Structure 1
Amino acid sequence: MQILFIAGQNDEERLRYKDFVSRWLTAFDNYVPELKIHVYPDDNFDPDDIEVVLIWKHPYGLLNKFKNLKAIQVMAAGVDHALADKELPNVPIARIIDPDMAKDLAQYAAAYVLKIIKRIDHWQQKQKEHRWTKQPPFNFSHLTIGIMGLGAMG
């Protein structure tokens, strides 16, 4: 089985995701050292040999070049960027489900809600201006906050 890792829609993004790809390749190598993963566009590979692609923000239309493609693994929790490719081949698409990632994202969402409710940006600006005027308290104990979602993170 030949695997190809594609991260980034252009050279600028590929450079930005270089460390991301490197960490994944190291992780794969630690668990399955015999597995050969090519990296797009750096490695020399035959597109007809590629059966699985690992993607993160791939160039749209590129995946159709792999005539023997059997699966797409999105290297993130969401698949929105993959589904935005109008020329996506008709093969199974998998995503990553990571309990730690789900916890991190839940904490991020909670922190952002608190940032808005507690008007952190407003108070940071007042601090820069050295203006300590008393404002009404911003307590959210009387509010109900709903969180909606589907899947592992929802």
Structure 2
Amino acid sequence: MAILFNSPQDDAGEFEAWRKPLTAADPNMELRFWPNVGRVEDIDYALVWLPEPGDMQRYPNLKVIFNLGAGVDKLLADKTLPYHIPIVRLVDPGLTSGMTEYVLLHTLRHHRGQHVLDQQQKDRVWRQKLFPLSRNRRVGIMGLGVLGADAAAKLVALDFDVAGWSRQHKSLPGVTSYHGEDGLEAFLARTEILICLLPLTAETRGILNAKLLAQLPKGACLINAARGGHLVDADLIAALDSGHIAHATLDVFHKEPLPADNPFWVHPKITVTPHVASLTQPETAIPVVLDGIRLHKTGRPIPNTVDLKKGY
């Protein structure tokens, strides 16, 4: 059995981090590092992240594509994909915990006004800032899939007042649920810290726009750890400059790496992180891949298989 590892951003060291555990689990398993794939007819499964458009159609015996991450929008943009085979989003425990850590870190930073304290340090100003109790801080998460649900549960455990908004109604312990277009306005009106963890689809592209930001309470903060395509950049800058939005933490962008001349780098009310909210960890991802292969071989459905109609 041959598995293609097609992740051009990774180096040989990352490849080895995947190859050794996979081959240890099954000595008959051969991991091939793109572009040195050998006979294309040998490839049974593919582990990919941002493969070159058109590459996936080269493998006539390909059975499953595992996307090395939870977001598949860029993969699905390749219209030559073999859509007749399962395409699986890799949602593993390490990816989930990493995203939750990021959400907690920056929610707490916004909750306690750390951006104000950072500026005070630069200005050598000693001024204590009172922040509300966590139970009085209203946090809202857009997107209640595996990542959003886990982050919501951890925020509830910290006693935040948590609400979620999703395409369809979700019932989560301690979380006030809103859904659909009809529930969006009320969700935004009560949200002081907005966290975007939505999948990027035709319906959600550009959803973080001037209209949406204006529906948040004055002084609200934004965390976007989903996709750059969710955000209308100019609308955010306008909302920050007007004072309606107090601060934004951005981990994802329309173009990555973020160009050096992008105004986000130097805006005093924006925190930029280089798409590190959550990264796929071989230690926790490999068991998920192996389980997916076993399920496929026995004819059973693989969790997190992409619904092409929904786009995720």
User: Where do 1:13-52 residues align within 5 Å?
Assistant: 13-15=9-11, 18-41=12-35, 43-52=36-45
* 1:48 to partner: Cα distance: 2.6
Partner Cα distance (1:36, 1:85) in 2: 26
Distance 1:122 1:87 in 2: 48
Cα distance in 1 for residues equivalent to 2:26 and 2:78? 30
SS in 2 for 1:145: strand
CA distance in 2, matches of 1:20, 1:133: 46
The answer to whether 1:86 aligns with 2:79 is yes
Unaligned residue ranges in structure 2 (runs of 5+): 149-312
Structure-2 change in CA distance of 1:44 and 1:70 (3 Å): closer
3-state secondary structure, aligned to 1:53: strand
CA offsets, 1:81-127, max 9 Å, x none? 32232322212112323234312311211211122232223312221
The Cα shift of 1:134 comes to: 4.8
Name the aligned partner's letter for residue 120 of structure 1. Q
The answer for the alignment partner of 1:5 in structure 2 is: 5
Among 116, 121, 127, the alignment partner of 2:121 is: 127
Matches of 1:132 and 1:141, distance apart in 2: 27
Q: Distance in 1 between the 2:116 and 2:79 partners?
A: 42
For residues 144 and 137 of structure 2, what CA distance do their matches in structure 1 show?
Answer: 23
Find the partner of 2:112 among 92, 112, 118: 118
Paired residue for 1:68?
61
Once residues 50 and 29 of structure 1 are traced to their aligned partners in structure 2, the CA distance between those partners, rounded to angstroms, is: 15
Q: How many residues align?
A: 146
Q: Tell me the CA shift for residue 77 of structure 1.
A: 3.0
Partner of 2:181: none
User: What is the CA RMSD across the aligned residues, in angstroms?
Assistant: 2.2
Give 1:141 shift: 4.0
* Secondary structure of 2:32 counterpart: strand
Contact 2:66 2:88 in 1 (8 A): yes
Distance 2:37 2:14 in 1: 20
1:49-60 equivalences under 5 Å are: 49-60=42-53
Higher relative contact order (CA 8 A, sep 6+): 1
Normalising by structure 2, we get a TM-score of 0.42
Aligned-residue identity in percent? 31
Q: How far apart, in 2, do the equivalents of 1:35 and 1:25 lie?
A: 9
- Matching residue of 2:166: none
Aligned with residue 96 of structure 2, among 94, 102, 115: 102
Following the alignment from structure 1 to structure 2, what is the Cα–Cα distance between the partners of residues 68 and 34?
Answer: 17
Deviation for aligned residue 1:130: 1.2
CA separation of 1:93 and 1:151: change in aligned 2, threshold 3 A: same
Structure 2 counterpart of 1:147: 141
Contact persistence 2:66–2:87 (CA under 8 A): yes
SS at match of 1:147: strand
Runs of 4+ in 1 over 4 A off after TM superposition: none
Separation in 1, partners of 2:21, 2:2: 17
CA separation of 1:86 and 1:121: change in aligned 2, threshold 3 A: farther
Deviation at 1:27, TM superposition (A): 1.8
